[in-house]
Each structure stands twice: as structure tokens, then as C-alpha cells.
Amino acid sequence: MNIIENPKRDCWAELLKRPTQTVNDIEKTVNEIFDDINRNGDVAVSKYTHIFDGVQLTRFTASEEEINQATQAVSPELKKAIQQAKSNIEKFHTAQKTTKIEIETQEGVTCWQEKRAIQKIGLYIPGGTAPLFSTVLMLAIPAQIAGCKDIVLCTPPNKEGKIANEILYAAQVCGVSKVIKIGGIQAIAGLTFGTETIPKVYKIYGPGNQFVTVAKQMATKYGVAIDMPAGPSELLVMADVTANAEYVASDLLSQAEHGADSQVLLVSTSKPLITAVEKEVEKQLKVLPRQAMAKKAIENSKLILVKNDAEALDLINEYAPEHFIICTENEAFYCNGIVNAGSVFVGNFTPESAGDYASGTNHTLPTNGFSKAYSGVNLDSFMKSMTFQKITKKGLLNIGKTIEIMAEAEGLHAHKNAVSIRLKDL
């Protein structure tokens, strides 16, 4: 791992760069695939699935028989774990429901806000080296609570054209409407335009690699909304001399094993802790089944020594991590001061893995510094706020003149007339 001691502020931008390709490197490929799928539908989707996933599919949609077989294949122990996680996620997201907000802004003028579910949504579930069935829970459960009508799930197939049993089981217990065995750029394009098999949706959710992230951003050019830019996973741990080096190393490696383009950072005010964590990472890395994957990510990672808590917090807010773990004596300082982070984990006994699976918070979070402006997925991600208003005769008499004056000042005389014509009758 790379150890950096007391970096100067004017070097922070370079120091905190993510190990990702630029959009320009990927955008040309995404554009070509989108254009092909827009014109040729399922034929193009099948072509790219063969190219990228190495499988020639005869059917895109997972059958009821496949789902039933998958349900039988999942162990009772894992089913129980999924059910417990499901329960916690349901509790946390149900608690996010808000009631109708109504107020009389002036006598006779009543305004209110209500929320409505987004009717047609697409969920992208990464497959590949680690089929993330936990992401099914994180997306489908709040979608169900919100009341989304059509929930379409896309996930890449393996070389045999199959989907992981755990993904199919999770989709079944979470009320997914349709499971499509398509991944990557072609899945996002299919959800964007609609094909003979893949339904067109109004909004796309879910993390993915850099190609999926750019594809989601491309979808917005065609009128489809997305949850957020959510690319390769990242974690920043803030730890001081009170932290447990073994715990910190395990957290760093838990994110590093996601993929070679993941990034993990340790920021600390203690050089002895940094040395201890580096040794622990080397030790724990040796026994990981995904050692090769994690090792590549560790090469892109950094251990940063800073002078004090204030400097550490400034650096962390500049980085804007997807996941932020606080292992310090003065944890309140960081909890109160953090303004840019996707999800925060507080204390030595709060591993990031808890949020990934079962504590109840959502693990679909903004990466690549986007937590400066984006929230992670939550119940509101699946809903729209709609405003209503009702004005009585008395209300129009109270605000009519104001509207007329403002409309005339903007030169919009039809706007003014819409009020004036009513005031004449009053």
C-alpha cells in the first residue's frame, strides 16, 4: 500500500483521484451499443451478450421453473439470513414514509404535497465475479414499500446462461415483476429504449462497473431517470491510536475484494497505527479466496497520515467517500463535521459489511465523489413529490392583484389575464 505522510493541501486533488478511466474512454463504446439496440432491439442485445458474457441466449426472461428451482437450491440457513436482512431493511425504509404536508399559505389559498410511486422501474444487479443478491434486497424492498407497479430486474448470466440461485430467490421474495438475464451496457440500453423482451422503464437503479455507470448517465439523455452515478466501490476509514488495526485492515479488504477498480483509503493521525494496519492487510490478504482481485485494488489504495483531526476531516470531505468508517476516540467530531459521504459507520464494532447486508440502511450509494451532491438510495428514490393547490374566491381576491402585477412586470399578459378575467366575476 502507498503511505503518504502529511500531504500539502495543494496536492490533495491529485492524491485523492480515483483509479478509474475517464468517461471519454468509455462513452464511444456506450454510444455505439445504445444506437445499435435502439435500432435493432433484442437482436442487438443478444449480440452483445454473446460478445461480453460469452453466452448465446435463446430466452432473456427467467422462467417460473428457473425461479422455483433456484428457491429449492438455496440453503435454509441462507434463506433465514436473507429474511432477517429483509426484515431490517423493511423496517428502516418503512420508517422513511412521510405524511401529506398541507398548509394554508394565505386565507383561501391551500397548498399541499403528496407522494406517488414511480410506476415502471428497472433494477440493475451486478453479476460477474460476485453476484450481488444483497442488492436485490436493497432496491426491490423500498420499491415494494413505495408501491412501484412494474419492477424489472436485469442481471448478467453466467457462461451457461443462468443466473445465481440467490439472485432469483431474492427477486422472488421481494416481489420483482420480471427477471431479465441481461447485463452490462446492453441491459441499461434495453431498459432505456425497450425491446421485444425488455420493458422500457422510467427510472434505472443499481450499481455497476464503469461501463454500466456511463450507460446509466447516457440513459438520461433519452428521458430515463437514474438513481445516481454509482460505480466501483470505495471506502475511507478514519482511525486514530484507539482503533484496532486488525479491524481496520479487515474493513479495507472487504471493499478491496469487490474488484480491481475499487479504492480503499485509511486516514490517520497515528503513524504506528498506519504501520500496524499495513502489516495486518498483508497478513489477511494471504488467506482471502479473492486475493488476486483484492491485491490489485490495494495497489491503488493509500494510507494517509495527517497532523490532526481538523485536517483529517477537511481531507475526508474533499474526497467525499461512498462509505466512511469512523474509528476514533472523538467520533462525535467526525459525525457532526462530515458533510460529504454516502453512508457513515460509527465505532470499532460497526463494520461496513453490516450496511452491505443486514443492518437496514441501503448500500446503493454515490461513488467517485458524487456524495458531494447525491444521496444514497432511500424510499424517496422510488417516489415523486407532487404539489396541489386549491384557491377559493376569497383566496383569489387576496392574491390576485399580486399575480397581476408580477405577470405584467415579466411581460406575460396572458398570465395576468387568467387572473383578471376571474377577478371581474368576483
Do 425 and 418 meet the contact criterion of CB atoms below 8 Å apart? no
> Cα dihedral sign for 344, 251, 301, 292?
negative
Q: Is residue 255 annotated as involved in ligand binding?
A: yes
User: Rounded to the nearest 5°, which phi and psi values hold at 323?
Assistant: -115, 135
Cα separations in angstroms, 252 against 83, 245, 273, 281: 27, 11, 14, 8
User: What three-state secondary structure class fits 340?
Assistant: coil
Known catalytic residue: 413?
no
Quote the strand ranges of 277-329, DSSP E.
302-305, 323-327
Known catalytic residue: 107?
no
Per-residue exposure over 89-116, b if at least 16 CB sit within 10 Å of its own CB, e if not: bbebbeeeeeeeeeeeeeebbbeeeebe
Q: Is residue 48 annotated as involved in ligand binding?
A: no
Q: Is residue 25 annotated as involved in ligand binding?
A: no
Residue 321 burial (CB count, 10 A): 29
User: What three-state secondary structure class fits 95?
Assistant: coil
Question: One of 166, 278, 323, 363 is an active-site residue; which one?
Answer: 323
Which residues, in sequence order, are CB contacts of 88 under 8 Å at separation 6+? 358, 359, 360
Do 377 and 205 meet the contact criterion of CB atoms below 8 Å apart? yes
Q: Contacts by 10-15 with C-beta closer than 8 Å and gap 24+?
A: 12/315, 12/318, 13/318, 15/302, 15/304
Question: One of 280, 322, 352, 404 is an active-site residue; which one?
Answer: 322
Q: Is residue 186 annotated as involved in ligand binding?
A: yes
Q: Is residue 343 annotated as involved in ligand binding?
A: no
Q: Is residue 319 annotated as involved in ligand binding?
A: no
Q: Is residue 415 annotated as involved in ligand binding?
A: yes
Q: Which residues pair with 3 in a beta bridge?
A: 303
Per-residue exposure over 198-212, b if at least 16 CB sit within 10 Å of its own CB, e if not: bebbbbbbbbbbbbb
Q: Is residue 114 annotated as involved in ligand binding?
A: no
Q: Is residue 222 annotated as involved in ligand binding?
A: no
Q: Is residue 209 annotated as involved in ligand binding?
A: yes
DSSP readout, 347-391? Answer: STT--HHHHHHTSSS------TTGGGT-PPP-GGGGEEEEEEEEE
Catalytic residue list: 322-323
- Binding site members: 124, 186, 209, 233, 255, 258, 323, 356, 410, 415
- Binding site members for substrate: 233, 255, 258, 323, 356, 410, 415
